[in-house]
Structure 1
């Protein structure tokens, strides 16, 4: 019979594996929130990693679930382990291992997969290994929902994103004076974007808090109030700043937004023609194809041309920095990639000034989506870890399928997620960005908002969706809005869809085999 604090070695091993799983979540899932922002040029990869370090960690630490499902999705009842808590410890350890191996492998291959489905697949594997196939809920409330989400998520997100982008395309981008129309409509975009994201964070992103227990009407009222505040901010501060910076070409800094009514006239900054042209594909004005890259695509020099370069001795400090910053010194925009140039050539290019205006909205959407992700999906790693910790401490199984998540475990998972994005996330950002279709700020904003709306709506309706699947479907739909099939990299989409199907069986097989090896191995009889 198990006693409290037995199997300490298993708890220690689970800690290490859970860190690896959270690391993989950061590298694969967090890229969903920032891939389009980086691809469009609204944020650099380094900026996205810095922002995500705060949004993901704070989301996980402040709004991470106070309770987390021991076995996600209700596909396997924990009551089966009531008399053998040590076997549930082993099952959760093996499940996290199976999930971590698959997510890290998929990330290395550049495949965006659902980390939620990965842990569910791993639980399927250990459940079958422990109790047989009949112990699994194969119906709609279990595996059936997951299979449905492979098709439902991308289609719904694609439709919603296409509608948002089409409104922007025909209401602003194709207008004769698109800049003027943008200045008129942007406050409305601020209102709807922030209201939707506020509703999303309160309703979906704060499980276990008093906010999540509010009625829908109250949440809607709060969200609309937040949206109104941001819309007024756009009217009196942001749009005047944009007009002076973009139309009048005054040399203003970003922080002048908050005091623009009190900022006097600033002499216009002369912008070279070639720089303005580059802004059409990068709102920051930085053109990655002109940078000098290493063999893996990392930017190693941006201020000198190839002709001006002379061999330079790399110091030990530079070598250390190159190792530490390896994950954020990568070209993930693919603007000069020969394999996707034909895809990008099929995309329509609009006024760079209008695209620049939407980069701010896109950053807001990405930050809020990342914050919500940290508050929800961190449980994919810390839920099973919390279960192991609780059993190790009490030697009992909580048959309610809910276990408390200590703050130190939430922080542990949040740190691992941040490190995963900063060191390994570039592989998924590269794929979900311009490798499927060309992204600009208006396209990226539409895709991010469409994906968030899909997750929110389907959650309310009780329909299964995946954040990864949603952003992938939204990306494809935005590409199709160009009116050409060639504007989408269908081969890459095929690889993505194939990885979704492989997630359950591969993660399940790894976890199930490991559990069988450990649970049914020959033992000494005393």
Structure 2
């Protein structure tokens, strides 16, 4: 029997499952890719493309294991006593509470864990539905709240440990050498081996149950895993290593990235005689790098001083007094400075060519008229503004200047704080960092794959339960599997959230915590990926955000100074994580209490 009388619950649950996946991408995935974008190993647009591909692969191949934990491990199925409608409502309300909280936090650039938001909401809904005694507060074979919340403390610490060990290994092997460039180039294939092995192991050893790979014998698993990792190592040695050697060691500026397939042919390639330095980007992060307005103000004050000095003495004194009064009168607050910075960014986009520039100019030149929205002229204006509004929503994130937002604004407390953090970090040669920029692409993709494997369960678990109950008319069975198509659909929504709304989180992460560079970023992402995959293999949902944040702090401490980490930002992150648990849980419990006691359900 199909529950047609509960079609509206299914529609609402599906809508908020999509919204939860969207928020997951805008919050958690954006945090993961902020490391790569901050290090300038990839551009924001490249991160969107790679994030989409590897989030999708991780979700489809590995994601169903963690989905079962959230769906069946917190509220026992038998607690609903065969009431399919109540079960559908329970998981729908959990999605509503979690997605609403995460959306609000993302809008205000507050980084929270979508994993723990949903878990807390499910627990709150469980208390309101079946009572506190029925909720699995303990370990419950690794699937209860006790096991899940244990990751709240363990995951950042473990991830920080993995990342710091990896970075210290790079530091000892490469950075501490008298001539680190050859060491960086010739050791690069090893990191391709590590990333490929981790990614392959996660698929083969604990892959999707539909693939049946976990039932293979141990020798088969070891052979496939080591064979894949070794194959990537050989390919990197034959093709990527000669490319790096020609570009960095031999300083051949004519070598382009698309020449990598030439491989061994690049080994004895003639070097241009005018190649004095390797043609590599500058990876240094400078606080005032983008502050053109600051430099303009400085030059303007010099010009005014020169003009004042040409005046007579009495006039100079009067001019000086007027300038002091003007400076005190026009003292800008922190919010005003940030508003000016945002307005400057928008002016730049307004002047740009392409669909986004057109859409922003159209919205600026065609505002809503006076009066109510239902008036005819406003209805017509709203219809005309709808296409450019959609264009802005889809493309604004692609054009957001992440580096300007992360480096801070001069004259603000945040800007001064970041100057101190950057000064406490040791800077390494651009040639060395350029080597690790390629490796960071691999580690970033591995981290994104790990996120798709782990965090897809946030949305697909409740949605799978809602769909199964709606389509069969019976409460979801404890051992029900999650269809691959559901994993694929929500993986797409995760990627949409990353592309369109992720800039809200990226602009406050990355270099806002500690100084980033490709070698540091590779260590952070690899350490976080290892931690997420380990937790995922034991069906324990863990926050990818917490893992990458713990890895960032761990690598920052490898500078040997506490001042190399922005502890204020870390403290704000911890506060947001902790507040997520009671807020999401209370919101879910209160909403469920209201709906469960409505006449339709209580009768």
Q: What TM-score bracket applies, with the shorter chain setting the length?
A: 0.7 to 0.9
Q: How does 1:137-152 map to 2 (within 5 A)?
A: 137-141=136-140, 142-152=144-154
Moved more, 186-195 or 213-222: 213-222
Q: 1:397: how far off? A: 1.1
Q: How does 1:171-320 map to 2 (within 5 A)?
A: 171-204=173-206, 206-250=208-252, 251-262=254-265, 264-265=269-270, 267=272, 278-281=282-285, 289=290, 295=342, 298=345, 315-316=358-359, 320=388
Deviation track 1:235-263 (CA, whole Å, cap 9, x = no partner) reads: 22111101111222321221211113335
3-state secondary structure, aligned to 1:37: helix
Task: Output the CA distance in 1 between the equivalents of 2:54 and 2:540.
Answer: 27
Say how many residue pairs are matched.
511
Moved more, 504-513 or 258-267: 258-267
1:474 paired residue number: 551
1:268–1:108 Cα change, 3 Å: farther
For structure 2, list consecutive stretches of 5 or more residues without a partner in the other structure: 294-339, 363-387, 410-414
1:455 aligns with 2:532: yes
Query: Is the contact made by 2:69 and 2:541 (CA closer than 8 Å) also made in structure 1?
Result: no
Moved more, 121-130 or 74-83: 74-83
Q: 1:268: how far off? A: 7.1
Q: 1:203: how far off? A: 3.2
1:114–1:314 Cα change, 3 Å: closer
Query: Is the contact made by 1:68 and 1:403 (CA closer than 8 Å) also made in structure 2?
Result: no
2:505 paired residue number: 428
Task: Output the CA distance in 1 between the equivalents of 2:99 and 2:203.
Answer: 27
Query: Is the contact made by 2:65 and 2:536 (CA closer than 8 Å) also made in structure 1?
Result: no
1:486 paired residue number: 563
Q: 1:361: how far off? A: 0.9
1:368 aligns with 2:446: yes
3-state secondary structure, aligned to 1:25: helix
1:393 aligns with 2:485: no
3-state secondary structure, aligned to 1:279: coil
Deviation track 1:118-156 (CA, whole Å, cap 9, x = no partner) reads: 221111111100122111122233222233222211111
Deviation track 1:197-240 (CA, whole Å, cap 9, x = no partner) reads: 32133334535422233345533332221121122122221111
Query: Is the contact made by 2:513 and 2:567 (CA closer than 8 Å) also made in structure 1?
Result: yes
Query: Is the contact made by 1:205 and 1:372 (CA closer than 8 Å) also made in structure 2?
Result: no
2:315 paired residue number: none
Query: Is the contact made by 1:71 and 1:78 (CA closer than 8 Å) also made in structure 2?
Result: no
Moved more, 420-429 or 183-192: 183-192
1:107–1:160 Cα change, 3 Å: same
Q: 1:84: how far off? A: 0.8
3-state secondary structure, aligned to 1:103: helix
1:33–1:140 Cα change, 3 Å: same
Q: 1:395: how far off? A: 0.7
Task: Output the CA distance in 1 between the equivalents of 2:19 and 2:40.
Answer: 30
1:249–1:400 Cα change, 3 Å: same
- What is the aligned-residue RMSD (CA, Å)? 3.2
**What TM-score do the two structures reach when normalised by structure 2?**
0.77
Query: Is the contact made by 1:157 and 1:470 (CA closer than 8 Å) also made in structure 2?
Result: yes
1:118 paired residue number: 117
2:397 to 321, 327, 344: 327
Query: Is the contact made by 1:23 and 1:417 (CA closer than 8 Å) also made in structure 2?
Result: yes
Task: Output the CA distance in 1 between the equivalents of 2:154 and 2:523.
Answer: 19
Query: Is the contact made by 1:299 and 1:330 (CA closer than 8 Å) also made in structure 2?
Result: no
Task: Output the CA distance in 2 between the equivalents of 1:416 and 1:272.
Answer: 44
1:131–1:4 Cα change, 3 Å: closer
Structure with the larger helix share: 2
For structure 1, list consecutive stretches of 5 or more residues without a partner in the other structure: none
Moved more, 339-348 or 19-28: 339-348
Q: 1:186: how far off? A: 1.6
3-state secondary structure, aligned to 2:137: coil
3-state secondary structure, aligned to 1:431: coil
Query: Is the contact made by 1:56 and 1:373 (CA closer than 8 Å) also made in structure 2?
Result: yes
1:437 aligns with 2:436: no
1:184–1:376 Cα change, 3 Å: same
Query: Is the contact made by 2:459 and 2:490 (CA closer than 8 Å) also made in structure 1?
Result: yes
1:316–1:381 Cα change, 3 Å: closer
Moved more, 479-488 or 382-391: 382-391
1:40 paired residue number: 39
Q: How does 1:131-170 map to 2 (within 5 A)?
A: 131-141=130-140, 142-170=144-172
Task: Output the CA distance in 1 between the equivalents of 2:567 and 2:558.
Answer: 15
Query: Is the contact made by 1:73 and 1:120 (CA closer than 8 Å) also made in structure 2?
Result: no
Q: How does 1:44-83 map to 2 (within 5 A)?
A: 44-61=43-60, 64-65=63-64, 68-69=67-68, 71-72=70-71, 74-83=73-82
**What TM-score do the two structures reach when normalised by structure 1?**
0.88
Moved more, 436-445 or 417-426: 417-426
1:314–1:441 Cα change, 3 Å: closer
Q: 1:500: how far off? A: 1.8
Deviation track 1:305-325 (CA, whole Å, cap 9, x = no partner) reads: xxxx9xxx9645876465532
1:413 aligns with 2:490: yes
Q: 1:57: how far off? A: 2.8
Q: 1:103: how far off? A: 1.7
Q: 1:269: how far off? A: 7.8
Instruction: Tell me which structure has the larger Cα radius of gyration.
Output: 2
Query: Is the contact made by 2:23 and 2:494 (CA closer than 8 Å) also made in structure 1?
Result: yes
Task: Output the CA distance in 2 between the equivalents of 1:328 and 1:316.
Answer: 14
Query: Is the contact made by 2:450 and 2:532 (CA closer than 8 Å) also made in structure 1?
Result: no
Task: Output the CA distance in 2 between the equivalents of 1:109 and 1:150.
Answer: 23
